[in-house]
Structure 1
Amino acid sequence: MTIPDVQSSRDKRNMPINRVGVKDLHFPVRIQSADGIQHTTAKLNMAVFLPAELKGTHMSRFVALMEEHDAPLCAAGLRRLTETMLARLDAPAGTIEAAFAFFRKKTAPVSGITSLMDYHVTLACDMDGDTARHSLRVLVPVTSLCPCSKQISQYGAHNQRSHVTVQLDCVEAVEIEEVIDLVEQQASCQLYGLLKRPDEKFVTERAYENPKFVEDMVRDIALSLQSDPRIGRFAVESENFESIHNHSAYARIVSD
């Protein structure tokens, strides 16, 4: 008995579909980091261009591709995976986006105790023919301390945890750790998973000595990104979860 291939049948509406595929596919992956391979779980969006004359794509092939995939994910690896997807689905264009938790071992500034910090990362590759567009998105949690509060207060200054998000269109590969380092260097102070009392004293005083408005952080980060020839278009934003208000402070810069 021959089973009909409905997806490959002809469609008469003369309407191509820019992207069709699977969304929010959760899958275990290996990530290539500066410290070696780490295991995590990715949320994947995978889609291809569908010509007007075809009724549908073969959804199972996206999942089958990930079942077969064994190489660590990085910019070059994601491009190869995208190329394989296009060949498997006989598509001229398509995209793969992988969002995952990225972990980094950090050393406390005084005690030297080590702990893990997690960061939210998204790698993406969008291909059209032989042209590939790579993007990297990293969310980095940091501390910011208000310069105005420090200036006008007799005792202390209010500070808050901030989420800084950097989105890059990469001409050449940029490592995840490089983005994290850049953001943490421009914050009032970086965060740690585990601190002892001497470390708490250090990070509190470090933030106090390095006050930053939300505007300061995005400007300082944008200036560093602007000077990197590996980076094309970029966006940087910061949301400061205010400790003295029931709202956040927010700033965003998008490159020309």
Structure 2
Amino acid sequence: MAGQTPPTMQDVQSAPAEVALSIDRVGVKHLMLPLVVRDRAQGVQHTVARVDLGVDLPAAFKGTHMSRFVEALENWKEELDYHSFKALLTDIRQRLSARKAYVVFRFPYFLKQASPKSGSPGWMSYECTLTGEMAGETMVFTLAVDVPAMTVCPCSLAISDQGAHSQRAMVRVMARFTGFLWLEDLIEIAEASASSPVYTLLKREDEKHVTESAFAKPTFVEDVVRGAAQRLDRHPQVNWYRVEVESFESIHAHSAFASIEKTK
């Protein structure tokens, strides 16, 4: 009725928790967001990100305020760089009165690829992840990319009179770094470490070249992960990395894998 004071809405999230345990991360997942990332050849490219946002929650509180995560994205300017990522982490931590904030962006990154002999163009898509963590004023950023590649088994090639088994592998490169790190650098490191890159479009002369060059460079998963680690060791901006290689074996009912992690 007119003149009456509306009832005060109860803040249930700030009430005491029935079970007084701290939560490491609580938040929202799979928000879709337009994204602009830097492209070494074109300057920038537009893509779409799947975003996870989270904070820590002290034992005293029943819940967090989920709507505030979405509100934080209202200030997002679409372009992904150090300053925008830091601003988003800072905003989330302040809005949620949290000690720690977490942000994960997952997005496809596209490169125009030319076939090795015919030069036929095709778009390759690489799944990328940028993770940011902020505790106080300390921030940690990790850039990761999944790169498909081809491996030819050295053992199979050595013991067979004709041929050898070959298969697609996935090389996942994760890196922490100083300054700016191109996604293209990580993609090139992964592809150079395998028997051969894989391609979107291949003509007959391309298939011949890819097959022959791959069989001239047989690699175990151990070879691929060591080669990638060696190249990351030499990269001047990378100060931590983890490389994981999974080979989807064509004649075995299992995958083979290897990983190396190092702080430089």
Q: What do residues 87-126 of structure 1 show as CA deviations (whole Å, max 9, x unaligned)? A: 2323232110111221111111111111111111110110
Segment drifting more, 159-168 vs 75-84: 75-84
Counterpart pick for 1:114 among 100, 116, 121:
121
- Equivalent positions of 1:86-105 (< 5 A) are 86-105=93-112
Q: Which runs of 4+ in 1 moved over 3 A?
A: 8-16, 51-55
Aligned to 1:224: 231
Q: Identical aligned pairs, as a percentage?
A: 42
Contact kept, 8 Å, 1:37 with 1:72, in 2: the verdict is no
> 1:11 & 1:241 partners in 2: Cα distance?
46
Give SS of 2:208's match: helix
> 2:134 & 2:95 partners in 1: Cα distance?
14
1:163 aligns with 2:170: yes
Structure 1 residues 244, 54: CA separation in 2 closer, same or farther (over 3 Å shift)? closer
Aligned to 1:245: 252
Contact kept, 8 Å, 2:32 with 2:49, in 1: the verdict is yes
Aligned to 2:3: none
Q: Give unpaired runs (5+ residues) of structure 1.
A: none
- Equivalent positions of 1:202-221 (< 5 A) are 202-221=209-228
Shift of 1:67: 3.7
Aligned to 1:23: 29
Shift of 1:27: 2.9
> 2:15 & 2:91 partners in 1: Cα distance?
23
Q: What do residues 163-209 of structure 1 show as CA deviations (whole Å, max 9, x unaligned)? A: 01112233443221110011111111111111111111111111011
Larger Rg: 2
Report the TM-score, using the length of structure 1 for normalisation. 0.90
Counterpart pick for 1:85 among 85, 89, 92:
92
Shift of 1:76: 4.0
Contact kept, 8 Å, 2:28 with 2:69, in 1: the verdict is yes
1:198 aligns with 2:199: no
Contact kept, 8 Å, 1:167 with 1:234, in 2: the verdict is yes
Shift of 1:83: 1.6
Shift of 1:51: 3.4
How many residues matched?
256
Contact kept, 8 Å, 1:95 with 1:127, in 2: the verdict is yes
> 1:136 & 1:245 partners in 2: Cα distance?
32
Q: Give unpaired runs (5+ residues) of structure 2.
A: 1-5
